[in-house]
Amino acid sequence: MLNALDNTLMIKRLIVKDWQLVKKSLAAYMLGGVVVIGMMGMATPLMFNSGAVLMITLMIVIGARSAIELVVNEKKDQTLAFMMSLPVTAQDYALAKLGANLALYLVPWLLLVLGMLLVIVSTPVTNGVIPLVVLVSLFILLSYCCYLATALLTYSEGYTVTVMIITNLLLNGFIFWIIRMPAVHKTLEAPTASWNSTTLGLLAAGSVLVVAVLVLTAYLQKRKTSFL
């Protein structure tokens, strides 16, 4: 039986292995994010809106690449079979996968969101769009957590891609829905960010859902007795 220290070391090695696999593509995505933020920083309606669409696309692509390449493809490419030969339990492997994927997505996601907010507060773009930007970004994070959970619990490319498609469609609906809400629509042109009861409620609900999905995923992962 492996002791706790051995397990910790192996989990760290698995996380580092995943980082090595995606570090080049992640750097390329972040470079793309800098370019997109630069577009938004031009502060014209066309460039800001175009940059916002590209930023949404970039956030989705980073998450999709992470879930498919680091989770689903390990079974598809027979890498999972090799992992089973290592001195690591199914729970250790599951924890490493969850930790690695969260770190490799949350860090760039947070940097991109902060970059957008920095553009808004430092250019003529009205600060009234800040709640909209934050809520849409949070929805994208929630979507990522949903298809990451699907990938980790099923290792199925079909199920994972299906959840990606559904969440992307829901994102479009969410954007149209929230923009039409009076509490949001009326404050988009405001000189300061307006966090009212509606936007704060959506922020709280989204945050709770993100935590709930992650906790449930970790709980189900912990119960795994095999790699498959």
Residue 3's pLDDT is 44
Q: What is the DSSP string of 8-36?
A: HHHHHHHHHHHHHHHHHHHHHHHHHHHHH
In the structure encoding, which two tokens stand for residue 176, read together?
């149209």
User: Maximum Cα–Cα distance for the chain, whole Å?
Assistant: 61
Name the band, by pLDDT with cuts 50, 70 and 90, for residue 1: very low
d(CA 203, CA 95): 27
Name the band, by pLDDT with cuts 50, 70 and 90, for residue 9: confident
CB 202 within 8 Å of CB 130: no
d(CA 45, CA 91): 49
pLDDT tops 60 at residue 193:
yes
| Entry pTM | 0.88
Closest CA to 33 of 142, 128, 119, 141: 119
Comparing 66-75, 117-126, 176-185, 201-210, which segment has the lowest mean pLDDT? 66-75
**148 class by beta-carbon count within 10 Å (0-12 exposed, 13-18 middle, 19+ buried):** buried
Rounded to an integer, the average pLDDT of 32-54 is: 90
d(CA 100, CA 115): 23
pLDDT in tens, 106-159: 999 999 999 999 999 998 888 999 999 999 999 999 999 999 999 888 888 899
Closest CA to 175 of 66, 14, 57: 57
Q: How would you classify residue 156: left for phi > 0, otherwise alpha for psi between -120 and 50, otherwise beta?
A: beta
Angle between helices 45-67 and 157-179 (to 10 degrees): 150
Q: Cβ–Cβ contacts within 10 Å for residue 43, how many?
A: 15
56 against 82, higher pLDDT:
56
Q: How wide is the angle at C-alpha 37 spanned by C-alphas 191 and 15, nearest 5°?
A: 120
Name the band, by pLDDT with cuts 50, 70 and 90, for residue 14: confident
d(CA 199, CA 173): 17
Chain center to CA of 67: 10
Using the 8-state DSSP alphabet, how is residue 127 labeled?
A: G
What does pLDDT average to over the chain? 85
